[in-house]
Structure 1
């Protein structure tokens, strides 16, 4: 059993106590956790309401079945992101099922709608702690998942980068990041990075390195997530009924690079603006400037709907499961 596993065992034994002592500190933390959840949900809802008028005209030009399929595609992509994180969490010793893992990840992701985006990671650690997963383990799981996701985004983004470089040649530096990120994906390199982070947090290092199988599965789920998200954009942009395979590849690559830009531009809620600009630039040659800008806004609003919806459904499923076990 690893040192990290020992921490989890201790946490699980404590949480198994039928009548745990409720100190003033634990009550304050519980209330702060609830306030944080309410804050991020309100932030996401506010973002959705204030931009809904911008997207209604665009959605009215899209066949209903395309809009439904696009919404379904982005929702599946969001859930694939949750599965990606869960793979890492389990490899680090966290015992978390699909429903609980999805609830922790999806609800916490709403924190990115609060300026600073750090709230998403804080909320994720608190939700994990609530079910007995140490905060250090939650932080490391998130850190590894982000690293793998960046590799997936850069790899798929190479598809759309040539088109984006036509108007933004300064983005060529992204090509240099890909080989570096592929090196960082090696289990030994990633394990070294994790142990360095644990050292900074004054926690003991991992007793065993991360495995190729774990990183491979995480990467696979991440790639699937961005493929579905790209398909969501493709279904929006294919308003003339012609499903162009070339445009699909451009949409997948654009969405991957756009999400990476949004992640880097974390100072504003959900990286607002960075992804939209890249999506509009990539779609302009195919659909025109006006339509491209409208699809970029529509995509962002549909992302928000998908993230709110999947987080809400996962929370309801967790509550229903807990009641069944009670």
Structure 2
């Protein structure tokens, strides 16, 4: 039997279809970015409280990177922290669009979450967004006391393009040295620009929130030089060396054109000796972790990610 959306996921798809919103690629990039905040406001209404939220500017070069700290109730000083890289195809979304995800992750794990506002394409194409993420991790590690965090118990997490950046950040830190993170969580990530996969053919037509056409638009903005899309820091599925990485959690959504990106990279990571925990979330689409307001599975997914990171940072 072909995969089907859950009842709650079907209701979300119906609601989105009835809104009749044009796809992202119909807009100029900056306008799409602004609209992504508006469109996601509904999903961030009624976000849970945390003990403290504070914005910082990191002392990074060449650009000072903004970050947002979430401290849950009961988080002790000098404890573990999760550095979060939001999704959005390297083009759209922001600290605000992923506010609910970060609050829920902080509360579910009991750990500080530090969300990173990296530079966006096409104004800042590859490797600028990745450079910001690597610089942010290094700055957070160096000044962990500012965030009440233990520099030896840091993890990185991200969804979609943020998962791509999280894995690429781990590869850069491995290759450049100086900072070792304890774990990573990669949520329905994009790891290459191959849009001929079975999951793209099945789920990329535009009825399941993320389309192949939109992914083409994202890649054209992020890595306009197609020859550079073989660079493992841009497309980690092409990496020849996936060894010496920390324990990783990877998820894929069943009804997602990007599903096969994760299906393909998991065995490559395992072959490199990486401790991998893999979860296929059935009956849900890309971006599902954003939909806690209507999708109980979203909170269960966040709890699963939180449990993994909390255990690895203990």
Q: Decide: shared fold, TM above 0.5.
A: no
Larger fraction in helix: 1
Q: Greater relative contact order: 1 or 2 (C-alpha under 8 angstroms, separation 6 or more)?
A: 1
Greater radius of gyration (CA)? 1
Flag the structure with higher strand content: 2
Q: TM-score scaled by structure 1?
A: 0.27
